[in-house]
Amino acid sequence: MDYDVIIVGAGAAGLMTAIIAAQGGLRVLLLEGQKKVGAKILMSGGTRCNVTNKAVSEKDYNSQQIIYVRNILRSFSNERVLQFFKDLGVELTLEPTGKYFPVTNSGKTVLDALLRQIKATGVTLLTEHKVRAVTKDQKGFIVKGDNFQFNAKNIVLTTGGLSYPTTGSDGTGYRLAQSFGHAMIETSPALTPLMTQDNDFKSLSGITMEVLLTLFINDKKQHSFRDSFLFTHVGFSGPSALDISRHWLRAEGKKQLTANFMGAYDENSLLTHLRHLQQESPHKTLKSFLVEFMPERLALLILKKSKLQGELTMDQLDRESRQRLIDKCVHYPLDVTGVLGYSKAEVTAGGIDWAQINPKTLESKLTPGLFFAGEIMDVDGRIGGFNFQWAWASGYTVGQALIKDRRST
């Protein structure tokens, strides 16, 4: 047998699995289809790499089996991730948003440290080795590519999902898993910008502000995200839009997305505030009121959609006009026509079904010795370092399971 384990895909999950397994004394081969490894680590967080978050729980993720996700996250917590990187010489700093970044503000620091550890632990890393097929006989797994073939006792699929396929994650991993009978939860792009045909918004391109987005499915409020929001020339982006994209896309039934541009105000508190202003500042214009909350270009659009003049003063605002204004300020309907898709998605929703995976070890229930970690699985997190946290925690879990397996044979 050439190796104890072959790991397919050298992204965050593959690198972590390889390091943990090799630290435990296993002979590890890490195969990567691309010329360079860890493309997503380098591009993540605007090239700053948001490694993890201050507070991680299963509530930050989506999956058919959220309790399994919770247990894996607990087995390698964010604190353990901080310690792991500290031991590799990577200092991480906490930002007010709860996100951890390397103090160097560079994903390269994270990738370089992982690669140093890959070398130090004796992992054999081969790039430009795209795996095309995996089979199993009595002796173990046979891994084949265009001009190579290797054998190993175990195999780990850490090939990622379908997001940003230019980085190498093109879905071959799903097909390899399916060739062993594994089922899939239907995939879709997640953390991807939203598109609109509404030309009024296009004139707002470049405006960024905090917005509360709410998704109604069949008129029922289902998902809300309050975070930074960006108007683009094709639609909406920024963390709140990215976070809601997978829910919008996967919603079944009538769906409506609304935006609240008024900070902490909701419909009731805004009504109280406006009534107060009508008493206390009767000559305040609607425009001067709105620009306290938002850039002028957006204020003008809200006035236009509310069919109100900006010069109108508070004392001229009748009950019905006030309600129209409130509606457009806190329940503005965003006419979303689609999402930008996998090419711009930070992550993939859905993936390999938990039904045929041991939730403690991440080993296949169908084919002993076959493991999964990272984005290939049916897990996707929200913005904030949660997807890397999943890659580190699931990679760690598989690494540990491999070491245990060797000890017990």
Ligand X SMILES: Cc1cc2nc3c(=O)[nH]c(=O)nc-3n(C[C@H](O)[C@H](O)[C@H](O)COP(=O)(O)OP(=O)(O)OC[C@H]3O[C@@H](n4cnc5c(N)ncnc54)[C@H](O)[C@@H]3O)c2cc1C
| Residue type (1 letter), 280 | E
Among 164, 261, 332, 372, contact with ligand X (rule: CB under 6 A): 164
Mask of contacts with ligand X, 344-383, x by CB under 6 A?
A: --xx--------------------------xx--------
CB 148, min distance to ligand X, A: 11
HEC-encoded secondary structure of 212-248:
EEEEEECCEEEEEEEEEEEECCCEEECHHHHHHHHHH
> Binding to ligand X (CB under 6 A): which residues in 5-24?
8-14
Q: Which among 227, 234, 228, 233 is positioned nearest to 206, based on CA atoms?
A: 233
CB of 100 to ligand X, least distance (A): 10
Nearer Cβ to ligand X (64/167) = 167
- Does the footprint of ligand X cover residue 159 (CB under 6 A)? yes
Minimum distance of ligand X from residue 127's CB (angstroms): 9
Minimum CB–partner distance for residue 311 and ligand X (Å): 44
CB of 276 to ligand X, least distance (A): 42
Q: Which one of the spans 30-38, 239-247, 256-264, 325-333 is the region binding ligand X (CB under 6 A)?
A: 30-38
Q: If binding is defined by CB under 6 A, does position 32 make contact with ligand X?
A: yes
Q: Is 317 one of the binding residues for ligand X (CB under 6 A)? A: no
| Token couple for 374 | 């990272």
Phi-psi region of 205 (alpha: psi -120 to 50; beta: other; left: phi over 0): beta
- Sort strands 149-157 and 3-8 into parallel, antiparallel or unpaired: parallel
- Which helix (H) or strand (E) segment is 108 a member of? helix 107-120
Site string for ligand X, 116-145 (x = CB under 6 A): --------------xx--------------
Q: Is 114 a binder of ligand X (CB under 6 A)? A: no
CB of 167 to ligand X, least distance (A): 6
Amino acid type, 40: K
Region near ligand X per CB under 6 A, out of 65-73, 152-160, 215-223, 263-271: 152-160
- If binding is defined by CB under 6 A, does position 193 make contact with ligand X? no
Q: Which residues pair with 351 in a beta bridge?
A: 185
**Which of 154, 214 has the CB closer to ligand X?**
154
Phi, psi of 223 (to 5 degrees): -140, 140
Among 27, 40, 153, 328, binds ligand X (CB under 6 A): 40
Q: Using the rule CB under 6 A, give the single segment among 28-36, 234-242, 247-255, 295-303 that binds ligand X.
A: 28-36
Cα separation, 283 vs 280, in Å, equals 9
What is the sign, positive or negative, of the torsion defined by CA atoms of 329, 331, 335, 341? positive
**What is the token pair recorded at 305?**
């959609």
Task: Report the C-alpha gap between 397 and 401 in whole angstroms.
Answer: 6
List CB contacts of 225: < 8 A, sequence separation 6 or more. Answer: 212, 213, 239, 240, 243, 244, 382
User: Considering only residues 22, 50, 247, 274, which one is a binding residue for ligand X as defined by CB under 6 A?
Assistant: 50
Contacts (Cβ under 8 Å, ≥6 apart) of 254: 217, 218, 219
The size of the interface with ligand X (CB under 6 A), counted in residues, is 39
**E strand intervals along 21-91:** 28-31, 52-53, 61-62
What are the residues binding ligand X (CB under 6 A)?
8-14, 31-34, 37, 39-40, 43-45, 49-50, 130-131, 158-160, 163-164, 168-169, 172-173, 346-347, 374-375, 385-388, 391
